[in-house]
């Protein structure tokens, strides 16, 4: 274990023991808010401390087993070797578990998210691919018990979407999908291709954590231009007959957001402001990450829209994630929303990257 990780572990154990003492103080019952805050922190640290104590117990067992190896009795030595082999397996499992727990949590992980998909190069084929991506994320969301709401969108001439903005509602949604931001490339024979040639098209995906309160981002009302218009129906499941759709332009940055999902102009405005806040926060976060990651090789989840993160090759049934060099020959199931085999390795790579920084 690196010195950086050891220091973080020591701090976690010290803080856990301190909170344990504070929770035992009778006067804490008079301050329910502080009690709730301390209880939550105690719960978050408990996994780290319990795992560390389990590792210490294993170390003690390992020392005893090594002493047994010095025995003259052959059966005792055999038993000691078997014990050491079991301990080694348990140690590896606990070490991995501790590393996952000790990585600082992303404060956005439990949040809902905004999903933005835009067709890039490839014309109609890119729009069809954008539709495939949205269906893929929708199926995955369904498997997780999440809800998906389309906020606005422009459909492609031959189907699919030229652009689409949706809200994904579910605990932990952002933690699962945050590494999907970037350029997704598809290689396949379009339905309109008469000579069977493979075409390459692309779409960009952006995953933005929903801001809990619009007040978290200070937006000067004088910096906004708010327009109302009649919904075209593409974003919702009904066609409005009133000017309830909202378009907000943030003048300093040029960011434009729209919402036409609700019949209520007030609700559409609230959703649009939430999306604007998320985009402003994302722009600030991306700038900070770009500065911090200038010399880093692995940039999982950087959100760089120009970064080609993944290729979907239909003729070979292959999906390749270029950030971690992962190739899977399971295209059909992945497009049906079975994203676990992509999400888990990306999460592990990100955690390893954070551990390296801590070290």
Residues 70 and 208 in one domain: no
Q: Is residue 180 part of a domain?
A: yes
Phi-psi domain of 337 (left: phi exceeds 0; alpha: psi -120 through 50; beta: other): left
pLDDT band (50, 70, 90) for residue 72 = confident
Specify the pLDDT at position 217. Answer: 65
Examine the fold and report which residue of 41, 69, 102 is the final residue of a domain before the chain moves on: 102
Do residues 97 and 150 share a domain?
no
- Confidence (pLDDT) at 68: 87
- How crowded is residue 351: how many other Cβ atoms within 10 Å of its Cβ? 17
Residue 248 gets which letter from DSSP? Answer: E
pLDDT, tens digit, for every residue of 156-211? 998 999 999 999 999 889 999 999 999 999 999 987 777 788 999 999 999 988 87
Contact 183, 160 (CB under 8 A): no
In a domain, 282, yes or no: yes
Helices in the chain by DSSP H: which ranges?
3-23, 32-68, 74-102, 124-144, 173-177, 265-292, 331-335, 340-358
> pTM of this prediction?
0.65
Which residues partner with 17 through β-bridges? none
Q: Angle at Cα 213 formed by Cα 248 and Cα 287, nearest 5°?
A: 70
3-state SS assignment for residue 107: coil
Domain annotation covers residue 107: no
HSE at residue 344, side-chain half, CA atoms within 13 A, is 4
Cβ partners under 8 Å of residue 70, min gap 6: none
pLDDT digits (tens, 9 = 90+) for 130-147: 999 999 999 999 999 999
Output the average pLDDT for the chain: 84
Assess if residue 359 is contained within a domain.
no
Shared-domain flag, residues 250 and 344: yes
174 and 258 both lie in a single domain: yes
Give the distance between the most distant pair of CA atoms in the chain.
91
Task: Determine how many CB atoms are found less than 10 A away from the CB of residue 334.
Answer: 20
- Give pLDDT, residue 252: 87
Instruction: Verify that 324 and 343 share a domain, yes or no.
Output: yes
Least confident window among 91-100, 206-215, 269-278: 206-215
- Whether 332 maps to a domain, the answer reads yes
Identify whether 108 is part of a domain: no
The tokens describing 269, both together, are: 């405005």
CA distance linking residue 84 with residue 92, whole number of Å = 12
**Cross-strand pairs, 208:** 114
Same domain, residue pair 182 and 297: yes
In whole angstroms, give the CA distance from residue 179 to residue 248: 27
Averaged over 319-337, what is the pLDDT? 96
Compute the distance between CA of residue 166 and CA of residue 239 in angstroms, rounded to an integer: 17
Structural domain ending residue among the three candidates 57, 76, 102: 102
Residues 211 and 327 in one domain: yes
Q: Cα angle vertex 69, ends 67, 74, to 5°? A: 140
Give the count of domains, the chain: 2
d(CA 113, CA 169): 7
- For residue 290, being part of any structural domain is answered with yes
Claim to verify: residue 29 and residue 165 sit in the same structural domain: no
Residue 53's domain comprises 3-102
Alpha carbons 303 and 286: distance in angstroms, whole number: 7
The radius of gyration of the chain from alpha carbons, rounded to an integer in Å, stands at 26
Residues 12 and 96 in one domain: yes
48 and 101 in contact (C-beta within 8 Å)?
Answer: yes
| Boundary of a domain, candidates 102, 125, 146 | 102
Residues of the chain with pLDDT > 70, as a percent, come to 86
Counts for the chain of helices (H) and strands (E), in that order: 8, 11
Burial group, residue 60, by CB count within 10 angstroms (0-12, 13-18, 19+): exposed
Whether residues 92 and 179 fall in one domain: no
Q: What is the CATH number of the domain that holds 39?
A: 1.20.58
47 pLDDT above the threshold of 80: yes
Two tokens, residue 82? 């078997």
Residue 174 shares a structural domain with residue 291: yes
Here the CATH number for the domain that contains residue 326 is: 3.30.70.1660
Query: Quick one: 90 and 231 in the same domain?
Result: no
Q: Is residue 181 part of a domain?
A: yes
């Amino acid at each position: 274990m690196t010195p950086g990780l050891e220091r973080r572990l020591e701090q976690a154990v010290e803080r856990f023991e301190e909170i344990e003492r504070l929770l035992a103080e009778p006067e804490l019952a008079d301050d329910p808010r502080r009690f709730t805050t301390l209880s939550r922190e105690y719960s978050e640290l408990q996994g780290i401390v319990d795992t560390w104590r389990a590792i210490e117990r294993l170390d003690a067992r390992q020392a005893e087993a090594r002493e047994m190896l010095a025995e003259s009795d052959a059966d005792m030595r055999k038993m000691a070797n078997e014990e050491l082999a079991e301990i080694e397996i348990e140690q590896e499992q606990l070490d991995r578990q501790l590393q996952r727990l000790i990585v600082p949590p992303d404060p956005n992980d439990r949040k809902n998210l905004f999903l933005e998909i835009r067709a890039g190069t490839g014309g109609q084929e890119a729009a069809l691919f954008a539709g495939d991506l949205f269906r893929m994320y929708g199926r995955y969301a369904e498997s997780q018990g999440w809800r998906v709401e389309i906020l606005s969108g422009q459909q492609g001439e031959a189907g699919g979407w030229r652009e689409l903005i949706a809200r994904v509602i579910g605990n932990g949604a952002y933690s699962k999908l945050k590494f999907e931001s970037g350029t997704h490339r598809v290689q396949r024979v379009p339905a309109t291709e008469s000579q069977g040639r493979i075409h390459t098209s692309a779409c960009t995906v952006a995953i933005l954590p929903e801001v809990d309160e619009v007040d978290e981002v200070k937006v000067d009302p004088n910096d906004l231009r708010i327009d109302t218009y009649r919904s075209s129906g593409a974003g919702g499941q009904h066609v409005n007959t009133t000017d309830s759709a909202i378009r907000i332009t943030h003048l300093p940055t040029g960011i434009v957001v729209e919402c036409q999902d609700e019949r209520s102009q007030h609700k559409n405005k609230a959703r649009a402001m939430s999306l604007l806040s998320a985009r402003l926060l994302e722009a600030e976060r991306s700038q900070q990450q770009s500065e911090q990651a200038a010399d880093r090789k692995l940039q999982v989840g950087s959100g760089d829209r120009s970064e080609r993160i993944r290729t979907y090759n239909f003729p070979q049934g292959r999906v390749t994630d270029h950030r971690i060099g992962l190739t899977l020959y399971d295209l059909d199931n992945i497009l049906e929303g079975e994203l676990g085999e992509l999400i888990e390795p990306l999460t592990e790579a990100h955690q390893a990257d954070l551990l390296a920084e801590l070290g």
